[in-house]
Amino acid sequence: MIKQYFVALFSFLLIDGVWLTVVAKNFYAKHLGYLMAKPPNLLAAGIFYLIYIFGLVVLALSPALQKGSLISAILMGALFGFCAYATYDLTNLATIKDWPLIVTIVDLIWGAVLSGSVAGVSFLILNKWL
């Protein structure tokens, strides 16, 4: 499971890094600039990534590898991502004044796409090369 963890962590950091620094950087600044920390708390972000990948591996990737099912990896990864991102975004929508609905919608979609992609890519890497 250690190989699974590090393959998934590397995949997640690579894909999410591109999302946060290239694709959606202006989107978040536009909608959440008034809330964003400068600089961001990298320790908190790092702890999130470590815990999140553990959950993704245990609940989606590892069971899919045991089944030998790429489709299971993608679907269960997407479900995990959707639920985890929903926890954050819907809580913010419920508790933070003027939290943008568009951020919640984009994040829910991104959480599902990111986590399904990471589980699928990790499944392929682990089955083909490791």
CA distance 51 to 103: 23
Q: What is the pLDDT of residues 64-117, one digit of tens each?
A: 999 999 999 999 999 999 999 999 999 999 999 999 999 999 999 999 999 999
Taking residue 89's Cβ as centre, other Cβ atoms within 10 Å add up to 21
Q: Tell me what pLDDT residue 50 has.
A: 97
- What domain range is 38 assigned to? 2-128
What are the pLDDT digits (tens) for 1-55? 899 999 999 999 999 999 988 888 899 989 998 888 888 899 999 999 999 999 9
pLDDT of residue 31: 94
* pTM over the 0.85 mark: yes
- Number of folded domains that form the chain: 1
* 59 secondary structure, DSSP code: I
Spell 37-74 as b/e; 16+ CB within 10 A means b.
Answer: eeeeeeeeeeeeeeebbeebbebbbbebbeeeeeebbb
d(CA 102, CA 107): 8
* Residue with token string 């508790």: 95
**Residue 102, burial from CB neighbour count under 10 angstroms (0-12, 13-18, 19+):** exposed
> CB neighbours of 27 closer than 8 A, spacing ≥ 6?
106
